[in-house]
Amino acid sequence: MATLKAERRQELDALDTSALREGVNWFITLAGTANVIWQLSLPPVGHGVKDSTSPGALFHDPKRRMRTTVGYIAVTMLGSAEDRAAYRAATNRSHAPVQSKPGEAPAYRAMDPQLQLWVAACLYRGAEDAYERVHGPLSGAFREEFYRQGMVFGTTLQMRAEDWPATRDAFGSWWDSAQSRLEMDDSVREYLWRVLRLEYLGRDVPARLLAWRIRMTAGYMGPRFRELMHLEWDDEQQRRFDRFNRRMATFQRVAPRGVREVLLRRELRDIRKRLAAGRPLF
């Protein structure tokens, strides 16, 4: 049984992501903060991140936090089975102590496969949304293959492959149901506003840049999450957002893959150097 489990894990670590990666590089650079807000809208995830005392927490060490986040996407999209296994082991060591205190509500545990399923689902939806903004709606067999590859966002952690809904339509039903469980209290909302305002940088940020960042993030969030964040949105903002995305989609379609993936490739090289030198990934 243990051997079969190990073989299944190796099979999942070797999952091809050639279709999925077409939707990733854009959303990580432009819609990454919106995706974080999606993830933290599930109360156990929101409180687990907000209350984390980990050395790699965003407000403790923002450079480390950004490196590990981008590193995870790089490994899932471009890494080998060995890269994924090594990154999972490092992430597990980081996640293991992250859990709520006895009697604390909401209860959370970073190693909970169901919480990891939600995080993976958010990352997948971000990739899908980005792909469709550039190339149009996914359909047919390619839609199912794109979706199947999306499970890598969870299986590179501790999510069980059998928890990933079997088809894209089944995922759609699950996603709609999951959104009904979302809540955001004032403490999580204020934490996320601090992230939006780039307070973790510890320095002043030009007001125009912050306004642009908030507007773009709000656009990528979508209605349900804007509601949770108490963000207003009107038709003029939507028109400006759509114009920006049309220009970005044109760039994405003509830019060479090496340009589109430069951030992920650079991070993957750093990860492999760390592994070769026996240095910690985090």
pLDDT tens-place string over residues 90-102: 998 888 888 898 8
Query: Which band of pLDDT confidence, cut at 50, 70 and 90, is reported for residue 125?
Result: very high
Contact 31, 131 (CB under 8 A): no
Write down the pLDDT at residue 3. Answer: 61
Phi, psi of 99 (to 5 degrees): -160, 160
| Domain assignment of residue 3, yes or no | no
pLDDT of residue 15: 81
- Ranking 12-21, 46-55, 209-218, 269-278 by mean pLDDT, the lowest is 12-21
Do the domain assignments include residue 219?
A: yes
- Tell me, what's the pLDDT at 8? 78
Classify residue 76: in a domain, yes or no. yes
pTM, full prediction: 0.93
Tell me, yes or no, whether 20 lies in a domain.
Answer: yes
Q: What is the DSSP string of 128-177?
A: HHHHHHHH----HHHHHHHHHHTTHHHHTTT--GGGS-SSHHHHHHHHHH
What is the DSSP annotation of 58-113?
TTT-HHHHHHHHHHHHHHHHH--HHHHHHHHHHHHHHHTT-BPPTT-SS--BTT-H
In this predicted structure, the answer to whether residue 216 has a pLDDT above a threshold of 90 is yes
CA distances from 218 to 37, 176, 244 (A): 10, 20, 13
- Give CA–CA dist 62/102, Å, rounded: 29
Q: Which domain holds residue 250?
A: 8-277
What mean pLDDT, rounded, does the chain reach? 91
Q: Which of 50-54, 143-147, 194-198, 275-279 has the lowest mean pLDDT?
A: 50-54
> At which residue do the structure tokens 């939707």 appear?
23
Measured CA to CA in angstroms, residue 35 lies from 26, 124, 279 at distances of 12, 10, 29
2 belongs to a structural domain: no
Q: What pLDDT sits at residue 115?
A: 95
Domain count, the chain: 1
Report the range of poorest mean pLDDT among 2-11, 16-25, 73-82, 247-256. 2-11
The structure tokens 């030198």 sit at 277
Mean pLDDT, residues 129-147 taken together: 94
**Is residue 4 over pLDDT 60?**
no
Q: Do 43 and 178 meet the contact criterion of CB atoms below 8 Å apart?
A: no
Cβ neighbours of 71 (radius 10 Å):
23
How big is the CA angle at 136 (ends 131 and 137), to the nearest 5 degrees? 90
The count of other CB atoms within 10 Å of the CB of residue 118 is 22
* pLDDT of the residue at 40: 97
- Amino acid identity, position 152: V
Find, among 195, 151, 198, 194, the residue nearest to 170 by Cα.
151
Specify if 174 maps to a domain: yes
In a domain, residue 52? The reply is: yes
Q: How far is Cα 103 from Cα 121, in angstroms, rounded to an integer?
A: 28
- ∠ CA 99-68-218, nearest 5°, is 85
Count of CB atoms within 10 A of residue 115's CB?
Answer: 21
Q: What is the pLDDT of residue 213?
A: 95
Residue 257 has pLDDT above 80, yes or no: yes
Q: Could you tell me what percent of the chain has a pLDDT over 70?
A: 98
Q: What's the pLDDT at 200? A: 93
263 CB neighbour count, 10 Å cutoff: 14
Residue 271: pLDDT above 80?
yes
Q: State pLDDT tens for residues 156-184.
A: 988 999 999 999 999 999 999 998 889 99
The mean per-residue pLDDT over the stretch 254-269 comes to 89
Look at residue 282 and tell me if it is in a domain.
no
